[in-house]
Amino acid sequence: MELDPRRLKVLRAVALRGGMADAARLLHLTPSAVSQQIAQLEREVGQPLIDRSRRKAGLTPAGLVLAARAERIELELAEARRELAVLSGRLSGSVPIGAFSTAVRHLLVPALDSLADTHPELEPKVVELEGAAALRDLRTGALDFVIAEHDSDSGESDPLVGLSRIPIADDAYYIVTPTSWSPRPASIPDLSTRPWIVSPPDTACGRALDRIAAEYGFTPRHAHTALEFPTVLALVAAGFGAAVVPKLALAGASEEIAVPPVPVAGSRRISVVRRESPSGPDPLTEAVVTALREAAIGFGLMPVAKSSPRGATERSRRL
């Protein structure tokens, strides 16, 4: 029996994505091409690998065995690429990176400009994506890196099982209010009865507002909910409420937005998240992290103190 590693990769994609159509999107193939590759692999092994009796395709016991082997092959190939990069010092090829919008505009774009000069053979591909969807694409191989955020005082919302988080910078929080408010608030208690433009509860700024409210003993009046900072700032500028936003979001903010001298503790931590490797960060990871840290310093964000005995990398916590 001779197995084609390329077909094993297709089978692994079906296992990771839980179906032919999603596997096709991951591999940039048509569903028909994925189906043909799986059918040929089944002929090679002489037994079914996909359970087609259910609405959503699942793997048979034989399929699960081969998918597990395919994952080991992928890991070995990734280690081989890392070792070759170390030997040659040359970085090349496609690098898909997922990131949230403010990180794309203010950190990733200048970082990619820098990488274009130092490593011209790299081909970055930016995907604007965040949260659980971005981590799913990272785990299943559609992305090489994800630029993620979390409220540094509240900690991570979920353990990043199988992933490593490499801190880039801390992005300090500010409270913003409409300039039309009179009298202008001078403290957080002054805002306790005012309306708020809130971020979703699973975001860094959503957790930050909850933490601030708990610290000062009030319940924010949720007037509006917005995910993207341009939307948040537009609502604030129009006079609809106050909001918690990070420094990155304030670049080019409207003159209708005030930043009162209200002390706000905490920040959101911006990190690069990648799949774990037994050998640690490779030259590509180090190049991307270095470029992002330089962009963050250039914007005036706070470098992350290296207090962990593991250095800059925060290993994932296991369930």
pLDDT in tens, 258-310: 998 887 778 999 999 998 877 667 788 889 999 999 999 999 999 987 644 33
Residues in the chain where the model's pLDDT stays below 70: 1, 55-57, 86, 88, 154-159, 279-280, 306-319
Q: Measured in Å, how far apart are the chain's first and last C-alpha atoms?
A: 38
Q: Where along the chain do the CATH 3.40.190.10 domains lie?
A: 89-169+268-315, 171-266
Per-residue burial over 249-269, b if 16 or more Cβ lie within 10 Å, else e, is beeebeeebbebebeeebbbb
E strands in 16-92: 50-51, 58-59
Tokens 């609502």 found at: 235
Helix then strand then coil, % of the chain, to nearest 5: 45, 20, 35
* 259 and 242 Cβ atoms separated by less than 8 Å: no
Query: How many CB atoms are closer than 10 A to CB 240?
Result: 15
Q: What is the pLDDT of residue 319?
A: 24
Partners of residue 147 on adjacent β-strands: 99, 272
What's domain 171-266's superfamily in CATH? Periplasmic binding protein-like II (3.40.190.10)
By DSSP bridging, strand 195-198 and strand 122-128 are: unpaired
5-84 CATH, one of 1.10.10.10, 3.40.1030.10, 3.40.50.1700, 1.10.3720.10: 1.10.10.10
Distance CA 26, CA 13 (A): 7
Comparing CA positions, the residue from 78, 3, 22, 89 lying closest to residue 279 is: 78
Q: What is the pLDDT of residue 318?
A: 29
Cα within 13 Å of Cα(319), Cβ side:
6
What's domain 89-169+268-315's superfamily in CATH? Periplasmic binding protein-like II (3.40.190.10)
Partners of residue 94 on adjacent β-strands: 123
Cα within 13 Å of Cα(31), Cβ side:
6
Tokens 């601030």 found at: 212
Q: Where along the chain do the CATH 1.10.10.10 domains lie?
A: 5-84
- pTM score of the predicted model: 0.77
- Distant-in-sequence, close-in-space partners of 155: CB < 8 Å, separation ≥ 6: none
Q: What is the pLDDT of residue 316?
A: 36
| Token pair recorded at residue 91 | 């970085």
| Chain segment 147-186, per-residue pLDDT in tens | 999 888 765 555 577 788 999 999 999 999 999 999 889 8
Comparing CA positions, the residue from 134, 164, 170, 133 lying closest to residue 150 is: 170
* 102 and 297 Cβ atoms separated by less than 8 Å: no
Distance CA 247, CA 174 (A): 7
Peptide bond into 183 cis (omega under 30): yes
Distance CA 245, CA 101 (A): 14
| Token pair recorded at residue 132 | 């659980």
Q: Write the DSSP symbol of residue 182.
A: S
Comparing CA positions, the residue from 286, 249, 254 lying closest to residue 267 is: 249
Q: What is the pLDDT of residue 213?
A: 93
